[in-house]
Amino acid sequence: MNGAHFHILINHFPIIGGIIASGIMLIGIFSKFEILKRVAYGLFIFTALISIPTNLSGEEAEEIVADIQGIDHDLLEEHEEAANFGLWAAIIVGIVSVVGLILSLKNNDLKGVISFIVFAGSLLAIFYMWQVGLSGGKIRHPEININADTQNEKEHTD
């Protein structure tokens, strides 16, 4: 297995993990079930940790696919830039989640505030991870690059 294969195997975890954790956190906030918030914190921490090898394997994947005919190097750069923002967003949410988990376990009064901060930060991280996934998909999936005008024009000429 090479770096590109490994990257493909794990690259969805940071995206999907953040979305699932955010949903669990939102339910935990509204239901006031601290156990759900703790589960969400754990998933945010996992997401931050899995983002690191995902980002590192992306570097190896870039070296492999850069020589493939038809690969747009501008798309590779766009994806790499988005991935750096996504990585840092996930890491920050993960670090704040560690604080939130500790406060929750100690039943600290700030535990409610931290859960809101983590949830708000997770929305930003989801936005960045969405950009990462979209830009990565464009590298090998030309159907993503078709804009609506081109698609409409093709439908009308058929």
The two three-digit tokens of residue 150, written as one number: 């081109």
Determine contact, residues 84/132, Cβ cutoff 8 Å.
no
How far lies 31's CA from each of 8, 26, 37, 105, in Å?
36, 8, 10, 18
| Residue 7: predicted pLDDT | 92
The two three-digit tokens of residue 40, written as one number: 């969400």
Average pLDDT over residues 83-96: 97
Task: Provide the mean pLDDT of the chain.
Answer: 90
| Residue 148: predicted pLDDT | 47
Q: Pick from 67, 86, 89, 77: which is nearest to 133 by CA? A: 86
In this predicted structure, the answer to whether residue 154 has a pLDDT above a threshold of 70 is no
Question: 0.95 exceeded by the pTM?
Answer: no
Q: How confident is the model at residue 70 (pLDDT cuts 50, 70, 90)?
A: confident
Q: Which residues are CB-neighbours of 112 under 8 A, at least 6 positions away?
A: none
| Residue 139: predicted pLDDT | 86
Q: Pick from 74, 91, 100: which is nearest to 128 by CA? A: 91
Q: How confident is the model at residue 150 (pLDDT cuts 50, 70, 90)?
A: low
Q: Could you give the dihedral angle defined by the CA atoms of residues 146, 152, 154 and 157, in that order, rounded to the nearest 10 degrees?
A: -170
Q: How confident is the model at residue 147 (pLDDT cuts 50, 70, 90)?
A: low
